[in-house]
């Protein structure tokens, strides 16, 4: 009995799309300016506490980045969590929005600016309201999620932005960790144990 649907995805299609996605990510992160990302490291080093805010899939990537920063011993909070305290002067807010116009993320940045916290944004749009509120901007040259039919990416919606955002935040973590001289075993002691 044949249990394979007639419209099944083929291994050839998977191979093609793995290569497509890998190539798009590589081309995009190669165009991210390392000096912009390094500046973020400086803001994080100077921060009393680090807050992260993003919506949807970008927000999920920032949650992963927050976990890695916590592994480094930083005090990290995710905007919107019930235990997140008020942001204040001396803190840094890291925000991500491909368009730079996501209303909740822009509101978070405005609140942070009003209390004197520093703001770092990762976006595709350096002219956006989010970028204008920011002390530092990392430009990720990917298509925006509403840019259907873009020549920048064949992927759906903001996938390329979110993938590149993950790679950039991982490179930032790796660079901060390289400076810390802490062995992986020390970071692991901070890993969640209530899973």
Express each pLDDT in 8-47 by its tens digit: 899 999 999 999 999 999 999 999 999 999 999 999 999 9
CATH number of the CATH domain containing 175: 3.40.50.10490
Is residue 6 a part of any domain in this protein? no
Q: How many domains does the chain have?
A: 1
111 CB-near residues (< 8 Å, 6+ apart): 87
| Within a domain: 60 | yes
Is residue 23 within 8 Å of residue 154, measured between CB atoms? no
- Which residue's entry shows tokens 């509101």? 107
Prediction pTM value: 0.92
pLDDT greater than 70 at residue 74: yes
Catalytic residues: 162
* 27 domain residue, yes or no: no
Whether 28 is in a domain gets the answer: no
In a domain, 18, yes or no: no
Do residues 49 and 77 make contact, with C-beta atoms less than 8 angstroms apart?
A: yes
Q: Please, is 46 exposed, middle or buried when counting C-beta atoms within 10 Å of its C-beta (0-12, 13-18, 19+)? A: exposed
Confidence of residue 3 (pLDDT cuts 50, 70, 90): low
Beta-carbon contacts of 139 under 8 Å, excluding residues fewer than 6 positions away, are: 32, 33, 36, 123, 124, 126
Residue 21 inside a domain? The answer is no
Sign of CA dihedral 120, 124, 125, 128: negative
Whether 80 is covered by a domain: the verdict is yes
The pLDDT, as a whole number, for residue 42 is 96
On whether the CB atoms of residues 143 and 125 are closer than 8 A, the answer is no
Q: Which residue has the higher pLDDT, 126 or 1?
A: 126
Q: How many residues does the chain have?
A: 195
């Amino acid at each position: 009995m044949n249990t394979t649907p007639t419209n099944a995805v083929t291994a050839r299609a998977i191979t093609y799309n793995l290569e497509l996605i890998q190539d798009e990510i590589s081309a995009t992160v190669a165009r991210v300016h390392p000096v912009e990302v390094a500046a973020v490291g400086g803001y994080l080093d100077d921060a009393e506490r680090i807050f992260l805010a993003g919506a949807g899939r970008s927000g999920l990537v920032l949650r992963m980045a927050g976990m890695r920063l916590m592994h480094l011993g930083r005090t990290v909070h995710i905007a919107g969590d019930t235990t997140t305290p008020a942001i204040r002067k001396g803190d840094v807010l890291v925000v991500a929005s491909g368009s730079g116009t996501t209303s909740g993320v822009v509101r978070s940045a405005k609140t942070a600016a009003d209390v004197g916290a520093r703001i770092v944004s990762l976006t595709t749009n350096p002219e956006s309201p989010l970028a204008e509120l920011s002390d530092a901007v990392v430009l990720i040259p990917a298509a925006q999620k509403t840019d259907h039919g873009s020549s920048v990416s064949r992927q759906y919606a903001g996938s390329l932005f979110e993938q590149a955002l993950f790679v950039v935040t991982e490179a930032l973590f790796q660079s901060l960790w390289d400076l810390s001289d802490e062995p992986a075993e020390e970071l692991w002691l901070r890993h969640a144990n209530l899973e």
